[in-house]
Amino acid sequence: MEKMFSLRAHAAPVSGFCPWENQLVSADRSGTLIVWNLSTRRPAARFRAHEGQVLSMQPTRFGLLTHGRDSAVRIWPPGAAENSKGGDPHPIFEMPVNALNFCNVAYIDGADGTALLATPASVDSDCFDVYRLSPDFSLARAVENQAPKQEQRGADQIEEIGAPPGRGEGIIMRLAWAAPDLLYVGYESGALASFSLSPEGCRMLWLARAHSPHPVLSLALEGARVYSGSAAKTLLVHEPPHEEAVAKHNLGHYGVQCFEILPHLYLAGFWDGSVAGFSRDWQQLFSLERPHEQIEAPESPSRKSLCLFVWSAPAAPEQSRRDRLRSRRAAGRLLFVGHADGLIVAYAIDESSENGLLES
């Protein structure tokens, strides 16, 4: 299995990807965003979005939402990438958030043109807030400092000696919307909680601790199912309204830090930098390893993979034959893997192949 191509422009470790305006955007730990032309494999635009690592990126109806370690959430307007050629563009919206941990923020479209934004709480990192964002960018806090019900803690849980009483499930690690009225939250303790939002308020539906004591690192949704990866080798599958996991899988590597779901394939990235593909019946199909391209000095940045993203090429408008030939390189699904030395490697995903990746 061979890689398709590499993208080289980041001077810091790659921290994430997302699609925006039919282009691929990558972010790094310096706060830089790069918009890529996948036909030429070169940056189409580049700008500094944050003073520190970009933790979250998501396209929205308002523009590109980014969230950084500089304790800010910003929204960049459509066309910001083009405008960046004359200098860094200006966000059309900005709000402060709690970024004491590395938790993401989660956005989802709501009713009447509004949107919901879940963030770590302003007061406590083990709680969350939910804001309602209006089309005019006015904010209203819908949920404040929400934590799991303390009575849900089991008698069999062991507290550390000297730990403050009632500290709950530890800091929030991951947030994921399933619907505008359903939010999943992963905790440092290994707990996964489901919350229901309504005009009457927010209430916890269930809380499961099958990952404990290993922190939740990743959340992914497929229909009614929620997949959660932890600092251990375990990936759990929950199917509401059941509190207990309906499936538990040992993926063979510690730290399931990212997880992607395809119709025929599961993809997982781990702390050791490896990326593995699994069939829908959880047989490992392949493991991606980055080849050594040159002799490296001991002080060189780590080559470990840090994040992955599946890109689906947008429907192309009418093109000339020459343009069609150039864009064929970027056609279909591509798996992008971001590395700690700033390199991005792309692999072609073959929808008809049993092993999931295109063989050369």
* CA contacts within 13 A on the Cβ side of 98: 21
Q: DSSP class of residue 358?
A: -
Q: Tens place of pLDDT for every residue, the chain, 360 residues?
A: 568 999 999 999 999 999 999 999 999 999 999 999 999 999 999 999 999 999 999 999 999 999 999 999 999 998 887 766 667 899 999 999 988 778 999 999 998 889 999 999 988 888 999 999 999 999 999 999 999 875 444 434 444 444 444 557 999 999 999 999 999 999 999 999 999 999 889 999 999 999 999 999 999 999 999 999 999 999 999 998 888 899 999 999 999 999 999 999 999 999 999 999 999 999 999 999 765 555 455 555 567 889 999 998 775 555 555 555 555 554 578 999 999 999 999 999 875 555 666 543
Q: Which pair of structure tokens corresponds to residue 349?
A: 């995903």
CATH among 2.130.10.10, 2.60.40.1180, 3.80.10.10, 2.102.10.10 for 37-151+169-303: 2.130.10.10
What is the C-alpha separation between 330 and 327, in angstroms, rounded? 5
Cis peptide leading into 241, omega within 30 of 0? yes
Domain positions in the chain are 37-151+169-303
Integer Cα distance of 107 and 104 in angstroms: 10
* Residue 1 in tokens: 């299995």
CA distance 348 to 330: 9
- How many Cβ atoms from other residues are within 10 Å of residue 214's Cβ? 19
Is 0.85 topped by the overall pTM? yes
